[in-house]
Structure 1
């Protein structure tokens, strides 16, 4: 009986928490979406930029790990951004006068679903399921 060969898992992108991290994460996402056959990466680029920016601005130490995975539902992809910070991201109250703080609200509106899972060791993974 023939068996299907599993494709090797693409390694995660490991980033230093600095202002170059969002651009490197976007480049990784574009390449990975192309590999997965996604026609449009616009929402993915916005989402990965926001999640990586949150990690480097609010945590600022350790490493940021980005993974792009096909969801079992083939119409979706999962963007994961992990960091070593203790706090969990939440959508804050809307403040019309604030100059920042709207990123997760934007992510929540653009993606199919999103959430955060704490890691056994320190840190967390923030994930978003994007329609392609």
Structure 2
């Protein structure tokens, strides 16, 4: 019996720094172009928000994975970090100077969520529309 080949999932490992969001945007743009996805604006915004949150609120290296879902080929963005905190798109605070990114992202993607990792940390994922 032969084993089925599973395509490699594009993965980028980043140090948690202010350079991580830019590197993640460039990585996403490259893969969207390779997949023939001309409009990467929402994807770049989403990966930037998730990586920025991982850098500012998470722990350890940041892992970005990109793939297309099996139903419909919609791009899925995953961002992993070792922090235990879970991102929440909180209530709007008109006086706040930050904290709107997840709310904006939630409005732009088809769906998103968070899942814990058994070894600790979490994966925040978002499925973009096509």
Task: Tell me the TM-score range normalised by the shorter chain.
Answer: over 0.9
Aligned to 2:22: 23
Range 67-76 or range 39-48, more displaced: 67-76
Summarize the alignment of residues 102-113 of structure 1 with structure 2, pairs less than 5 Å apart: 102-113=100-111
Quick one: which of 72, 79, 82 aligns to 2:80?
Answer: 82
- Provide the TM-score with structure 1 as the length reference: 0.91
Structure 2 counterparts to residues 1-132 of structure 1, below 5 A? 6=5, 8-59=7-58, 61-132=59-130
Structure 1 residue 74, shift from structure 2 partner? 2.4
**RMSD value, Cα:** 1.6
Q: TM-score, normalised by structure 2?
A: 0.92
User: How many residues get paired?
Assistant: 128
Conservation of the 8 A alpha-carbon contact between 1:43 and 1:110: yes
5+ residue gaps, structure 1, are: none
- Structure 2's unaligned 5+ residue stretches are none
In 1, the alpha carbon distance for the partners of 2:109 and 2:126 equals: 6
